[in-house]
Amino acid sequence: MKKKVVVFGSFVVDLTGRTPRLPIPGETVMGSSFAMGPGGKGSNQAVAAHRAGADITLVTKVGRDVFGTVATDFYKKEGMDTSYVFEDEKKETGCALISVDENTAQNEIVVISGACGNITSEDVERSRSLIESAGILLLQLEINFDALCKVVEIAHGAGVTIVLNPAPAAQLPDDVLRRIDIVTPNETEAQVLTGVKIENQADAERAAKVFMDKGVKEVVITLGSLGAFAMNQEKSELVKRLSVEAIDTTGAGDAFNGGFVMALAEGKDLFTALRYGNVTGALSVTKLGTAPSMPLREDIDAMYEKAYG
């Protein structure tokens, strides 16, 4: 039986410009195209998990503005539950200003959190029964920290498996980390949290041990061109990156996390779930955009079979 997944995190509207190259400070570069669409790490990961076949509910917050309707319109079209999309009376809906180099697929992003940086204790309490009934809770670091801590406390108290994608990178107190079951940073985020610069598998193992010494049970570190690394008490493994033609890397980490929790919710072990995350992330970079680029389950299964048999 599939476990229920709750994603508690951010929604922002992505404002994406594609350019021949990324500007240097003080420079104006003429872009070639612009797109507006749903984004935010929490929302992207929820969409990725939903399209991958997970039973998910997203808890997020938007403003009473035109950007807020971008969220609810998109979720309704996707067939996602909007019961926990809260509205802020004063704060605007968050947005992300994204520049993508169309030659290298690299990006630069500025996020303004807006309403999802103003999740109140009342919002958390309204979500309490949902959180407590979850099998897996997926979190990121784009909501306000006091709300994050309260959500972790509720989930931990109810015995819910907590997966934290610590992005954007920020220091976290040890009393939060020791309540986390699985942490899923990229190499930069892992360095911020552990102090270990990761350039190879041995470095990834050292960083994973730092997390586990702080009480985290299982660690997954995505390593860009190197692939992805996973470690628990029994073993560790580096899984190579899948070769695809990347046209937009924005949201690849979110796709990875969505595919990863989908597999966990279906009872897959850490290392199999890592492979599902790998496939989901690889497929997402072959299309433009963030949420709209998240792959469907049939495509994930087809590529998984081809890559891993």
Going through the chain in order, the beta strands assigned E by DSSP cover 4-8, 12-19, 33-39, 55-63, 85-88, 93-101, 107-114, 136-139, 161-164, 182-183, 218-222, 228-231, 236-239
Residues 16-29: pLDDT tens digits? 999 999 999 999 99
**What confidence score (pLDDT) does residue 109 get?**
87
For 235, left (φ over 0), alpha (ψ -120 to 50), or beta? beta
Name the pLDDT band for 248 (thresholds 50, 70, 90): confident
Label each residue of 216-251 as H, E or C.
CCEEEEECHHHCEEEECCCCEEEECCCCCCCCCCCC
Whether residue 161 is predicted with pLDDT greater than 90 in this model: the reply is: yes
Active site residue 175: no
Query: Considering 123, 175, 254, 269, which one is annotated as catalytic?
Result: 254
Nearest partner of 278 among 293, 296, 258, judged by Cα: 258
User: CB of 7 within 8 A of CB of 42?
Assistant: yes
**What confidence score (pLDDT) does residue 245 get?**
87
The residue to which tokens 């996707």 are assigned: 78
Residue 75 phi/psi, 5-degree rounding, is -65, -40
**What confidence score (pLDDT) does residue 111 get?**
86
How many whole angstroms separate alpha carbon 204 and alpha carbon 183?
A: 13
Report the helix count and the strand count for the chain, using DSSP H and E: 11, 13
147-170 burial: b if 16+ Cβ within 10 Å, else e? bbbbbbebbbeeebbbbbbbbeee
**What confidence score (pLDDT) does residue 156 get?**
98
Angle at 211 between CA 205 and CA 214, to 5 degrees: 140
Over residues 108-135, mean pLDDT = 96
Name the pLDDT band for 249 (thresholds 50, 70, 90): confident
Beta partners for residue 221, in sequence order? 229
pTM given for the model:
0.94
**What confidence score (pLDDT) does residue 209 get?**
98
Residue 100 is encoded by which pair of tokens? 């993508």
Name the pLDDT band for 106 (thresholds 50, 70, 90): confident
Residue 289 is encoded by which pair of tokens? 């955009």
Domains along the sequence of the chain with CATH: 4-308 (3.40.1190.20)
Beta partners for residue 182, in sequence order? 163, 218
**What confidence score (pLDDT) does residue 224 get?**
87
Nearest partner of 154 among 123, 114, 185, 193, judged by Cα: 123
Whether residue 250 is predicted with pLDDT greater than 90 in this model: the reply is: no
User: CB of 221 within 8 A of CB of 185?
Assistant: yes
Over residues 265-271, mean pLDDT = 98
User: CB of 164 within 8 A of CB of 189?
Assistant: no
